Amino acid sequence: MLEIRNLHASVDGNEILRGVNLTVNAGEVHSIMGPNGSGKSTLAQVLAGREDYEVTEGEVIYKGRDLLEMEPDERACEGVFLAFQYPVEIPGVSMNYFLRAALNSVRRHRGEKELDAVGYLKLVREQSKIVELDEKLLGRAVNEGFSGGEKKRNEIFQMALLEPALSILDETDSGLDIDALRIVADGVNKLRSPERAMVIVTHYQRLLDYIVPDFVHVLVDGRIVKSGGKELAHELEKQGYAGVDAGRAVAASS
Amino acid sequence: MINKPERPHTVSDTNELILARDRQLEDFSGFLDVDGAGGLPSLKASRKAAIERFAEIGFPDRRNEDWKYTNVAPIARTAFARPTGEIPYIDAAELAPYRFGDDSSPRLVFVDGRYAPSLSTNGATTKGVTLLPLAEAVRTRAADVEPWLGQCLDDTNRPFAALNTAFFEDGVFLHLEKGVRVESPIELVFIATAGGDTPLASHPRIVIGAEAGAVATVTETHVGVGEGVSLTNVATEIMAREGAHVFHYRTTHLPDEAFHISTLAVRQEGKTDVTSCTISIGGRITRNDYHAIMAGEDGLCALRGLAKLRGREHVDNHLRVEHAAPACESREYFKSVLEDESRSAFTGRIFVHQIAQKTDGKQTNSNLLLSENAQADSRPQLEIFADDVKCTHAALTGQLDEDAIFYLRARGLSEREATSILVRAFAGEIIDTIKVDALRELVEERLFSRESSIDAGAPGKSGALQEAV
Ligand SMILES: Nc1ncnc2c1ncn2[C@@H]1O[C@H](COP(=O)(O)OP(=O)(O)O)[C@@H](O)[C@H]1O
Ligand SMILES: [Mg+2]
C-alpha cells in the first residue's frame, strides 16, 4: 500500500529526514517510535502533503502512485488520513459544517452520493458514540475550546467518519489519560481490517498495549535505525533509545 | 456670491482640487435658483451656510489627516452633472438581486437621488410612522421636518457632508412617534446610473427621527447600474430619543468606476440603542464617515463594517464616536478582506468627554490580506478626558492561517474550498450580526457570488458555516 524509499526532507535547508525506508502493506499496523525531535511528525506531515517540507531525495509510492505528486486534498480523498499531533483550531467554522464538507468532498471523489443533512446526522451520531465524543462539540467551531483529550478524540472521530485506507496517527496518545487512551484505541481497533493499514507514531509504548502493532520501527535522527516485532516496543521501554542509538551503526552499515 | 478663500498651494493636484471646489461653488449659484421656494425657508439659509463652509475647506488633500488614506482627486476632477429631465427607466428586474423585502414592507427607491414612485412600494402603513420622500416632506410637512433636518449632521470639517446639505434634492424623511415599533425593515434603495453623456452626482439625504421608545430597522441599499463613473454622496442622520432603538444597515453594490461617499451622523439622547452595519462591495473609491454623539446616559452605539474588495477597489472607514454622557457603551468593529491591489483604511476615534465617566468603549479593526499587493491601514485612536473609563482598541492585519488551510486540505477540501471557508468565517463575524434574515442572505449571496480568484467553486453559503445541521 505504501512504500517509502530513501526519503529525505528538509526545512529551511536543515535536513530532517535523512533516508527513510518503510514498506506498509494492507492489513498491517506499524508503529514508529523515537525520541523527541527525531523527525516522526515531519515524516507524518510529509506523507500528508505539508508543503513546508522540501523533499530533496527519494520517493513514496501509495497504491501504485507517486504520493509526493499529489495535492494534500487529493491524498485525503485517496484515503490517506493524518491524525494531527496538534489539531488546528479554526474559529468561525463549525464542526458540523467542516465535517460535512470533508465527508462530501471525499464521497464525491469516490463517486458516492453526497450526504444530505439527515444522512450526515445519522452517520455522525453513530460514529461519535464510538469515540465517546460529546455531540455538543459538533456545534462548536473546529477544535476551538476543546480540551487536549477532546482534540485527540476528535481526530479519531474524523478518521472513523472518513474511513481512510491508510491512517497515520501522530502521537494521538500523548496527553490522554488511561480511559481516553482505551477509547481512542477502541476506535482504532474497530477500523482495523485487511484492506486498511495504519502507521502509529508514538513516544511511549503505552498505546501499544491497546493497539498491538505488527511492526515497530525506531526513528532516530531522521532514519529508521531499527525494526522489529511488537516486542521491540517493550525492549525500548526498558532500555530507552540510547541502546538503539548504538545499534544505528549496525543498521547504517548493513 | 460666495467668496473663494485662497490658500497657498504648490502641488498641481492641489490646484486641481481648488478648481474643483470652484466648480462646485459655481454649480451652487445655479442650484439655489432652481431650488426655488420650497416649503422650508430655513433650508435655503442652511444650504448657503453649508456651501460657505465647503468654500472654506474645499476638497481635502492628503495633508488633511482625516483624508490621509483617500485621494479624492479622481472624484474632484470629474465634472459631474446633476440629473435633469425624466428619471431614466430602470427595469425592476435589475433591482431584484438587491431587494429583499416583500411588498408588505415599505420600499422607497431613488434613481440618481430622485424619488422613483414606479419602483417604490408603500407597504402596510403603521400608525405613528411618517415615511416620505424628503422633497415631498419639505414641501408638504415643513414644520414636521424642520426639527430633525440637519440636527445631527456637523459638517464643520466634513466637506462632503457640507456638499450634501448644499445640494441634496431628495431623500427620505422617517419619523417615528413615541413608542412606535415598526416590525418589518424599511427598505431604501438608491440607484446610481452611469454610462450617459455626463457622469452624474447625487446627494441623497436621509433623516431619521425616533421619538422615545420607538423601534425601527432601516436598510440603505446603494446599487450602481451601467458601466462608468458616478458619484453618490449620501448623508444619513439618526436622532434617537430616550429608549429608542434604531438599526441601520447600509450595503453598497457598486460597479468598478463608482464613487461612494457616505456620512452617518448619529445623536443619542438617552438610554438608546443605535446599531449600524455597512457592507461595502465594489466601487473605485468608497469613503464612509461616521460621527456619533452619545448625549444621554446608558446609551449603546454599535458601528460595524465589512469590506470585501478586489482589483484596485478602495474603502476608507473614518469614525468619530463621542461619549458625551456617562455610562455609555460604544462598539466599533470593522473588517476587510482584500484581494489583488485593493486597499482599506480604518480610522476609529473614540472621544470621551470629561463628563462621560463609566464609559465602555471598544474598537476593533481586522483585515485579511489575500494578496501581497493589498494594503490595510489602521488607526485606532482614543482620546479620553474622563478618568473612570474602560476603553480598548485593537488592530490586526494578517493573512490566512496556513495551518488551518492545511488541516482542511488534509481532510479532503480543495485549496479553494479551504480558503473560501476561512474567508467566510472571517467575514461571518460581521455578517452574522445582520438581524434581518433576508438581508443577511442577500449579503452573503452578493459577497460570495462575485467572481473572484478565491471564491469560485466555494461550497454553500457562509451562514452554513455556523449551521447546526
Ligand atoms: N516547520 C519546521 N521548521 C523548522 N524546523 C522544524 C519544523 N518542523 C520540524 N522541525 C525540526 O525538525 C526536527 C524534527 O521535528 P519533528 O518531526 O517534529 O520531531 P518529532 O515529531 O519526532 O518530535 C526538530 O529538530 C524540529 O525542530
Ligand atoms: Mg512529533
pLDDT digits (tens, 9 = 90+) for B388-430: 999 999 999 999 999 999 999 999 999 999 999 999 999 999 9
Q: What is the pLDDT of residue B1?
A: 46
Q: In the predicted model, what is the mean pLDDT of chain B? A: 89
Ligand 1 atom closest to the Cα of residue A45 is 17
Residues B441-467: b if buried by 16+ CB within 10 A, e if exposed = bbbbebbbeeebebbeebbbbbbbbbe
pLDDT tens, residue by residue, B83-113: 888 888 888 888 888 888 777 788 999 999 9
pLDDT at A250 over 70: no
Phi, psi of B447 (to 5 degrees): -65, -40
Identity at A232, one-letter amino acid code:
L
Q: Is residue B360 assigned to a domain?
A: yes
Instruction: Give the angle subtended at the CA of A72 by the CAs of A69 and A76, to the nearest 5°.
Output: 110
Q: Is residue B445 assigned to a domain?
A: yes
Interface test with A, best of B366, B402, B408 (most A CBs within 10 A): B408
pLDDT bucket at B12, cuts 50 / 70 / 90:
low
pLDDT bucket at B214, cuts 50 / 70 / 90:
very high
Q: What is the pLDDT of residue A127?
A: 87
Residue B321 CB neighbour total at 10 angstroms:
24
Q: What is the pLDDT of residue B35?
A: 63
Mutate to test the pocket of ligand 1, among A11, A32, A47, A85 (most ligand atoms within 8 A of CB): A11
pLDDT tens, residue by residue, B305-326: 999 999 999 999 999 999 999 9
Cβ contact B156:B53 at 8 Å: yes
Q: Is the minimum distance from the CB of A254 to ligand 1 under 6 angstroms?
A: no
CA atoms of B373 and B422, how far apart (whole Å): 20
Cβ contact B190:B157 at 8 Å: no
Query: How many domains does chain B fold into?
Result: 1
Mutate to test the pocket of ligand 1, among A7, A41, A50, A204 (most ligand atoms within 8 A of CB): A41
Interface contact A50-B464, CB threshold 8 A:
no
Q: Is the minimum distance from the CB of A37 to ligand 1 under 6 angstroms?
A: yes
At a CB cut-off of 8 Å and minimum separation 6, what does B429 contact? A92, B333, B335
- Taking residues A190-198, report their average pLDDT: 93
pLDDT bucket at B195, cuts 50 / 70 / 90:
confident
Q: Say whether residue B460 is in contact with chain A using an 8 A CB cutoff.
A: yes
pLDDT tens, residue by residue, A129-167: 878 888 889 989 999 999 988 999 999 999 999 999 999
pLDDT bucket at B455, cuts 50 / 70 / 90:
very low
Compute the radius of gyration of chain B from its Cα atoms: 22
Q: Is residue B53 assigned to a domain?
A: no
Q: Say whether residue B409 is in contact with chain A using an 8 A CB cutoff.
A: yes
Quote the percentage of chain B above a pLDDT of 90.
74
pLDDT bucket at B13, cuts 50 / 70 / 90:
low
Q: Is residue B223 assigned to a domain?
A: yes
pLDDT tens, residue by residue, A207-233: 888 889 999 999 999 999 999 998 888
Q: Is residue B34 assigned to a domain?
A: no
Facing A72 at nearest CB: one of B410, B417, B428: B410
Q: What is the pLDDT of residue A129?
A: 84
pLDDT at B448 over 50: yes
Q: What is the pLDDT of residue A205?
A: 79
pTM of the model: 0.88
Cβ contact A77:A105 at 8 Å: yes
Higher pLDDT among residues A183 and B342, named by residue: B342
Return the bridge partners of A200, or none. A31, A169
pLDDT at B351 over 70: yes
Return the bridge partners of B395, or none. B365
Across A116-130, B212-226, B282-296, least confident range: A116-130
Highest averaged pLDDT of the listed ranges A112-116, A174-178, B28-32, B430-434:
B430-434
Question: Which residues of chain A make contact with B459, given a CB cutoff of 8 A?
Answer: 101, 104
Distance from the CA of A41 to the center of ligand 1, in angstroms? 7
Complex ipTM value: 0.95
Ligand 1 atom closest to the Cα of residue A34 is 22
pLDDT at A248 over 70: no
CA atoms of B67 and B169, how far apart (whole Å): 26
Q: Is residue B49 assigned to a domain?
A: no
User: The cell 479519531 sits on which residue?
Assistant: A156
- Taking residues B365-390, report their average pLDDT: 95
Q: What is the pLDDT of residue B34?
A: 64
Residue nearest to atom 18 of ligand 1 (CA): A41
Higher pLDDT among residues B19 and A146, named by residue: A146
Q: What is the pLDDT of residue A70?
A: 97
- Taking residues A33-51, report their average pLDDT: 95
Q: Which residue of A has its CA nearest to B429?
A: A92
Of the candidates A228, A227, A186, A223, the residue with the CA atom closest to the CA atom of residue A207? A186
pLDDT at A92 over 70: yes
Provide the grid cell at A150.
Answer: 477532546
Q: Which residue of A has its CA nearest to B427?
A: A92
Q: What is the pLDDT of residue A173?
A: 86
Facing A94 at nearest CB: one of B404, B410, B465: B465
Q: What is the pLDDT of residue B38?
A: 62
pLDDT bucket at A48, cuts 50 / 70 / 90:
very high
CA atoms of A149 and A82, how far apart (whole Å): 17
CA atoms of B450 and B148, how far apart (whole Å): 39
Q: Say whether residue A21 is in contact with chain B using an 8 A CB cutoff.
A: no
pLDDT at B361 over 60: yes
Instruction: Give the angle subtended at the CA of B51 by the CAs of B50 and B55, to the nearest 5°.
Output: 120
Q: Is residue B394 assigned to a domain?
A: yes
CA atoms of B298 and B163, how far apart (whole Å): 33
pLDDT at B8 over 60: no
Q: What is the pLDDT of residue B193?
A: 94
Sign of CA dihedral B60, B64, B66, B70: positive
Cβ contact B226:B256 at 8 Å: no
- Taking residues B154-166, report their average pLDDT: 94
CA atoms of A50 and B403, how far apart (whole Å): 9
Q: What is the pLDDT of residue B365?
A: 97
Q: What is the pLDDT of residue B36?
A: 54
Interface test with A, best of B368, B401, B409 (most A CBs within 10 A): B409
Return the bridge partners of B361, or none. B330, B391
CA atoms of B362 and B302, how far apart (whole Å): 10
Residue A230 CB neighbour total at 10 angstroms:
17
Question: Which residues of chain B make contact with A106, given a CB cutoff of 8 A?
Answer: 412
Q: What is the pLDDT of residue A252?
A: 38
CA distance A95 to chain B (A): 9
pLDDT bucket at B39, cuts 50 / 70 / 90:
confident
Q: Is residue B422 assigned to a domain?
A: yes
CA atoms of B453 and A24, how far apart (whole Å): 40
pLDDT bucket at B454, cuts 50 / 70 / 90:
very low
User: The cell 479624492 sits on which residue?
Assistant: B72
Question: Domain span at residue B182?
Answer: 104-449
Question: Which residues of chain A make contact with B403, given a CB cutoff of 8 A?
Answer: 88
| A and B: number of Cβ contacts within 8 A | 99
